[in-house]
């Protein structure tokens, strides 16, 4: 289908995505074009949640994409440690 959109085929998508991630202090590990409901899958890292949400808001606000799904990797050891602290302090109502 690239022959239908010659201007799009000249666009360096990966460079644009890498520049976007770098602008918030992040980096792109991989970028894949797919034949699924998700046209592009990007595996990237950002320094913190604020950087990730800011990047996502900027992309959504541009109107250039119709949907963005963000999956955040969790440190389950840290989550379980906090859950244990909370479980000791939690008392059901009543």
Under 8 Å between Cβ of 82 and 74: no
Res 1: pLDDT? 41
Q: How many CA atoms lie within 13 A of 34 on its CB side?
A: 10
pLDDT higher than 60, residue 18: yes
Beta bridge partners of 33: 40
Q: Look up residue 8 and give its two tokens.
A: 């799009």
Sign of CA dihedral 47, 27, 38, 15: positive
Q: Give the pLDDT score at 12.
A: 84
Determine the pLDDT at residue 8: 55
User: Please, what is the average pLDDT of the chain?
Assistant: 86
Residue 34: count other Cβ atoms within 10 Å of its Cβ.
9
């Amino acid at each position: 289908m690239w022959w239908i959109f010659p201007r799009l085929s000249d666009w360096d998508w990966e460079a644009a995505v890498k520049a976007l991630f770098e602008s918030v202090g992040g980096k792109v590990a991989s970028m894949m074009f797919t034949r699924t409901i998700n046209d592009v899958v990007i595996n990237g890292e950002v320094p913190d949640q604020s950087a990730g949400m800011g990047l996502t808001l900027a992309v959504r606000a541009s109107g250039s994409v119709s949907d963005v799904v963000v999956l955040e990797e969790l440190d389950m050891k840290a989550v379980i440690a906090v859950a244990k602290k909370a479980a000791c302090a939690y008392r059901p109502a009543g």
